[in-house]
Structure 1
Amino acid sequence: MNNSDGLTRDIAKQTMQNDVVLNAAYINGNWVAVETAERGDETDIHPLYDPNSGEVIATTRLCTSAHVETAVNAASDAYASWSQTTVSERARYLNAIAESMEQQFDKLVGLSVLNNGKPIEEAKIDVSDAIACYRYYANLITAQETWSEVSTSESGIRLLKTYAPVGICALIVPWNFPMVTTAWKLAPALAAGCTVLLKPSEVTLLPELMLGNILSAINMPKGVVNILPGGAEVGAAMTSHPQIDKVSFTGSNVVGEKVMSQAAKGIKDISLELGGKSAIIVCADADIDYACDLIIGGIFTNAGQICSATSRLLVHQDIKQSLFKILKAKTESLHIGDGFDISTQMGPLVSAQQLNQVKKYFDIAAAEHLNCLTGGEIVDGSGYFATPTIYTDVPATSQLWMEEVFGPILVTTTFTEEAEAIRLANDSKYALAATIVSADEKAALDMVLQIQAGHIWMNEQQIVLPEAGWGGFKQSGIGRELGADGLSAYQKSKHVLLPQ
């Protein structure tokens, strides 16, 4: 294995042993032990896996609803003072989190590869993106005016506007981008003056739990951030708790519907970032070689485990043959392997459950007699590996065309007119993202106005900037993260009317 990058599995395991606190929750500024269940058996032991090998690398115990109650009380006690801190003080803590993450950059990358399976280069991007997010919101909140004057139609009256934090927030993040999705929620929540309960995914706890150490090291006031490693019980207790003012959830639509129902009691503010079945449209005038790079990046990065994955390819009929020839060759040349090997371009699925999900769709494709251009197989041996897969001439009635797979599977069809491409792109219950590949910028921008998606890339890889709002339409969710919209999600405006 080529690991000249300096990060190895042994080093990551050493970091896990030395720096990650397991069997505990981070509540009120301290690690609180999660005790063995009263029943005295081992059914409450939760394993953590290395997806590259399928090996159990650690075990821990998950929180219960009792820990949620304690954490809510801590967040409530901290809210009065934290919500009234100056923006410069909040910015200082956000920058301190970013600085501490920078200092532990290699450790965080190693834990992400070890527990999530990401190739090293992808894990580096993730940690860098998280750091950039904390810094962005530190700058944004500092620049926001405490008071602004609003023009009115009435003479002799002044109208002032300010912002208040929404309150105590429950943040629930997924396993596909540990640390990144956490930063998307936590950074604006802290910037706004909220206190939080954070539930990281129980699948990828190792890199997420490092945050507790960071918060202690920077002397974050007690109770402002509480980290609860737990399963569905903890999530439900958070989203239904009467003292929680806002819920922000990223995950599947099935769970998102439950979260929305639970949050309805008490009329909580809610943000949902859910599924996607995004389209990539390749026009007749596109650079075919570059288009293939964008297609591959859009579906095989993170082994396709991305809500915005452009998993539906719409290619102009005139370039179909040339494009598929190059796309097949490039896909088959991808190096699939261990995330700690720096030559790896696509790593494993995150878990046996996710591998089985992908296998289910391979079986459906076979039952539907789809034309497999390449792939369609589970890789024999250890770890949770599937081949990068492309199906061509897939009908819109196919389950693979309609449903989110969350794996390295691309389905394709062709079009002859731009109007047809737009119709096909919009023919989905999801509307999160899209990519357009075209030499004609004006024509592509005209298409952008007609495509139902919250985030669209034009002739570019799926780069996500902290300045750009993130979120979709239809069943892809409610609200926006990142950008100024992300800060607004954790604030309520207040208006003051007074005489001139």
Structure 2
Amino acid sequence: MDTSVFTDFTMTIAGRAVAGDTSYEVLDPADETVAARAPVCSPEQLDQAVAAARAALPGWSATPLEERRKLVLAVADAVEAQLEPLKRLLTREQGKPLDDAAAEILGFGYWLRGTASLSLPETVNEDSAERLSVTRRVPLGVVGAIVPWNYPLGNAGFKLAPALLAGNTVVWKPSPFTPLVTLKVGELLREVLPPGVLNVVSGGAELGPWMTAHPGIDMISYTGSTRTGRQVMAGAAPTLTRVTLELGGNDAAIVLPDVDVPAVAEKLFWGAFANSGQVCLSIKRLYVHREVHQPLLRALAAYAATVRVGRGTEAGVRLGPVQNRPQYERVLDLLQDSHTRGHRFAAGGRPGEGPGYFVGPTLVDDPPESSRIVQEEQFGPVLPVLSFDDIEDAVTRANASEYGLGASVWSSDPEAALAVGRRLRAGTVWINEVQHLTPLVTFAGHKQSGLGSESGTEGLLEYTAPQTVTLRRTAPAAAA
């Protein structure tokens, strides 16, 4: 793979390149070789990044909204101009196929452009001869953006676009597993944004807690596991730092008996297995009416057999590896548990041979509701396909999870599916599709799937605080 255009990696602090005192190896998940070395941010360098963001805050927040809008669009342009080398770098560190890497980079630009079209509302509470009262939205300050490894650039767009548009400055931290594209984008944007407006730091597991507890950071926007989200919330509590948390999901899909099986099988497959199942909104529990359970299971297995798994740079590959060893071992542990308990497999069920963190698309046939493969979020290419006889039972089982991120309902009768969907306890419910998101529509998790919102006007407002300004127009009446 030719990544020679991107070799050295530095952090970005106050618009300048900053090397770490030490570095660490970033592995290619397709063969476990070293893709590159990334800098390790020290506590002192994090202080410098936060100080740079705070120093840039007055000027950036005072920049007119229209100018900030133009610069957010310029960020999208600068990243897309480097699509070819960036997609190769992303595939090398994350593992996804090149086409999917390109789609993620273009999605970053799409998200920035869509968010840049939004405006901050201003409410006139009173406009009388006596006074003018207006409530407006002001930036929170310095935002710490903590991004996961499944979509290192795509998820960043959800945070950077509203944070910058609203007038905040940012310290951006990628996952230790996928820092390379983030570091390179930080370098590209040194020529686009004023110094200190966007700072990029990288490092190990200790860097996130340093950020959440840092007194100079006003808001943490975190995407990742629910377990770590609780730690983020606890770390931010002593300083009352604002948090938005987009956390885990165990999304249910309910398939009604009237579906056209051949028509929905491929859609359901990609709803579950896109990015090798490493999507927060993947279908992770598939509830299928017994009348169509076995036909649909066979159709899914037949389609799975046509999907090539391998290194993301190879022609025809549709699914890459699990991104990192800890997650790979977690997926294998869930598979072993299913084997031990005698669950039936309609496809897959074993790791790939040779180096790399490969697991082929796996279908588990009607495991018990209480089994780990149903109750726990897999975040990998494994899907339990469960049967039901009664829609009340399906809704109850779908809602029983501690998570409530997304859900979907599939039927040839959209109105019947909509009636079922409205009973599901999830932040986003799709009918006859899944994972359709836009920067103009609010996305939020229920229950243990998160706090706050992303995208749309509500997501933009998460990066602001309301401020009411009241002007007294007439002098107070004199005391009698």
Q: State the TM-score, normalizing by the size of structure 1.
A: 0.91
1:150 to 125, 129, 132: 125
CA deviation after TM superposition for structure 1 residue 272, in Å: 0.6
| Counterpart position of 2:256 | 283
Please state if 1:66 is matched with 2:44. yes
Preserved CA contact (<8 Å) 1:248 1:271: yes
| Counterpart position of 2:319 | 346
SS at match of 1:232: coil
Q: Take 1:463 and 1:223, find their aligned partners in 2: how far apart are those partners?
A: 34
Write the deviation string for residues 68-124 of structure 1: whole angstroms up to 9, x where unpaired.
111111111111111111001111110111111121111221111111111122112
CA deviation after TM superposition for structure 1 residue 475, in Å: 0.5
Q: Take 2:306 and 2:314, find their aligned partners in 1: how far apart are those partners?
A: 16
| Counterpart position of 2:111 | 133
| Counterpart position of 2:477 | none
Q: Take 2:114 and 2:299, find their aligned partners in 1: how far apart are those partners?
A: 39
SS at match of 1:149: strand
Please state if 1:266 is matched with 2:239. yes
Q: Take 2:320 and 2:150, find their aligned partners in 1: how far apart are those partners?
A: 12
Please state if 1:176 is matched with 2:139. no
2:11 to 12, 25, 44: 25
CA deviation after TM superposition for structure 1 residue 197, in Å: 0.9
1:94 to 72, 75, 80: 72
Counterpart of 1:15 in structure 2: which amino acid?
A: V
Give structure 2 stretches of 5+ with no counterpart. 474-480
CA deviation after TM superposition for structure 1 residue 465, in Å: 1.4
Q: Within 5 A, what are the aligned runs for 1:77-476? A: 77-141=55-119, 144-145=120-121, 147-150=122-125, 157-218=131-192, 220-476=193-449
| Counterpart position of 1:4 | none
Q: Take 2:441 and 2:367, find their aligned partners in 1: how far apart are those partners?
A: 33
SS at match of 2:304: helix
SS at match of 1:92: helix
Counterpart of 2:76 in structure 1: which amino acid?
A: A
Preserved CA contact (<8 Å) 1:455 1:471: yes
Please state if 1:14 is matched with 2:8. no
Give structure 1 stretches of 5+ with no counterpart. 1-8, 37-44
CA RMSD of aligned residues (A): 1.7
Preserved CA contact (<8 Å) 2:29 2:356: yes
Q: Take 2:229 and 2:123, find their aligned partners in 1: how far apart are those partners?
A: 36
Structure 1 residues 417 and 247: alpha-carbon distance in aligned structure 2, compared to 1, 3 A threshold: same
CA deviation after TM superposition for structure 1 residue 463, in Å: 2.7
- Sequence identity (%): 35
CA deviation after TM superposition for structure 1 residue 461, in Å: 4.0
Q: Take 1:355 and 1:478, find their aligned partners in 2: how far apart are those partners?
A: 28
CA deviation after TM superposition for structure 1 residue 325, in Å: 1.5
Q: Take 2:281 and 2:389, find their aligned partners in 1: how far apart are those partners?
A: 25
CA deviation after TM superposition for structure 1 residue 369, in Å: 1.6
Preserved CA contact (<8 Å) 1:16 1:206: no
SS at match of 2:21: coil
Write the deviation string for residues 19-49 of structure 1: whole angstroms up to 9, x where unpaired.
xx42x3210110112124xxxxxxxx41112
Counterpart of 1:337 in structure 2: which amino acid?
A: G
Q: State the TM-score, normalizing by the size of structure 2.
A: 0.95
Preserved CA contact (<8 Å) 1:65 1:233: no
Q: Take 2:232 and 2:204, find their aligned partners in 1: how far apart are those partners?
A: 13
SS at match of 2:58: helix
Please state if 1:35 is matched with 2:21. yes
Write the deviation string for residues 268-298 of structure 1: whole angstroms up to 9, x where unpaired.
1110111110011111111211221122111
Write the deviation string for residues 282-317 of structure 1: whole angstroms up to 9, x where unpaired.
111112112211221112111111111111000011
